[in-house]
Copies of this chain bind each other. A is one copy, B any other.
């Protein structure tokens, strides 16, 4: 028997606030950070599992503390037993009769759950010699359904319905895999339009991205109406009328304000408005969606769990599902949201950027497009071009598309020297900063 020997944690932070990369209307100075978890087995020949929850600086230490509080639910268990029923393992982490009080399934405790669950999946995929997306795409519909906690979902999606969706897509899996390996995952670029950038920087980033083959671009909004309009005009001048422009308000508006502001910004033909208001406001998103159609409403990076996604989909509040890999409780809950989105016919465009999120979500998007989605239409994965150099297997993006990763695992293993240098507060980057 091989036991899970330990879950080690690290507080890793990158000083991105020094350049305003990642700045938006609500988060003026993020330091992209990772509450990092490493799962070790008591077999020294076994690979390690690496997972992280993304945060933006202060507060990362709280998620690290939560990983440590959850670890005893996994450490000491038989690894083969855990890997044989990852659904049960995920439910054990979210269902603890005392820990759930400080969620349930939301905030620090749920992000910590994601770091652990994803680290376990990373380890399992490495053991099987598969990138995560292939490991999942090779599972039967029955196995996949067994991974999902349907609690609180059955009024919208039953296990039987989920099984039917997966079975329906089964015949085309091989062809779609081949197609995606060939063409890559369609991407869009966020890093042209951070709110803290001046016009010259935006213009330069835009031209770089055009030269790299991107055709979809996202800008931040939520400054004054005049500043937002000027920024949109600049972007449209650079990318032309035909290419796609998304807008992201990062939760900065109330519902009536979001509606009024998007009526003005409609002149710039935005493809979607992302996070127009509080991530908790299902009814508010639905009201905005009705008012700003045909502009789509998008949200997800702060949607705390599958129950919120269920409602966003039930109410027609979102036209784009921006699932995140480590805000939800890890791979298992992400699968639930992919199936909910398929049930309601809403395309999944995963949230990425930050640190490690691109590395994570390429697996999510690839699996979705191979095994769950009814078509590839309207499915673009977010891309931001920073901090990839810190990963053992950084993403590869060419001609505006992610190349599908082939390295075994879930992709967020940090290079040892990057981990060491960015430890907070003791690492050299912070001691010298």
Contacts and interface: CB of A to CB of B under 8 A. Distances in A.
Interface of A: 26-31, 55-59, 61-63, 65-66, 69, 96-111, 151-155, 251, 254-257, 277-284, 287, 302, 304-305, 307-308, 310-311, 314-315
Contacts of A63: 102
B31 A152 contact: no
User: How many copies of the shown chain assemble into the complex?
Assistant: 2
B106 A254 contact: no
A111 B99 CA distance: 14
A353 B155 CA distance: 31
Contacts of A277: 152
Contacts of A154: 254-257
A280 B308 contact: yes
A303 to B, nearest CB: 10
Contact of A97 (B30, B61, B283, B308): B30
Contacts of A65: 61-62, 65
A55 B97 CA distance: 11
B104 A27 contact: no
A251 to B, nearest CB: 7
Contacts of A302: 104
11 contacts: A30-B101, A57-B101, A58-B98, A61-B65, A62-B66, A106-B280, A107-B108, A154-B255, A155-B254, A282-B282, A284-B307
A283 B314 contact: yes
The 8 closest A-B pairs by CB, nearest first: A107-B107, A57-B98, A155-B255, A58-B98, A108-B108, A280-B307, A152-B278, A59-B102
A60 to B, nearest CB: 8
A194 to B, nearest CB: 14
A28 B100 CA distance: 12
A311 B282 contact: yes
Q: Most chain-B Cβ atoms within 10 A of its Cβ — which of A65, A109, A280, A304?
A: A280
Contact of A26 (B58, B100, B106): B100
B280 A99 contact: no
A151 B253 CA distance: 8
A38 B185 CA distance: 53
Given A66-B62, A69-B59, A151-B254, A102 B107 contact: yes
Nearest to A288: B155
Contact of A305 (B109, B280, B310): B280
A410 to B, nearest CB: 21
Contacts of A311: 280-284
Nearest to A53: B102
Given A107-B109, A108-B108, A255-B154, A56 B98 contact: yes
Contacts of A105: 280
A297 to B, nearest CB: 15
B62 A109 contact: yes
Contacts of A151: 254, 278
B106 A106 contact: yes
B98 A30 contact: yes
A59 to B, nearest CB: 4
Contact of A62 (B28, B108, B153): B108
Contacts of A56: 97-98, 101
B307 A281 contact: yes
A109 B108 contact: yes
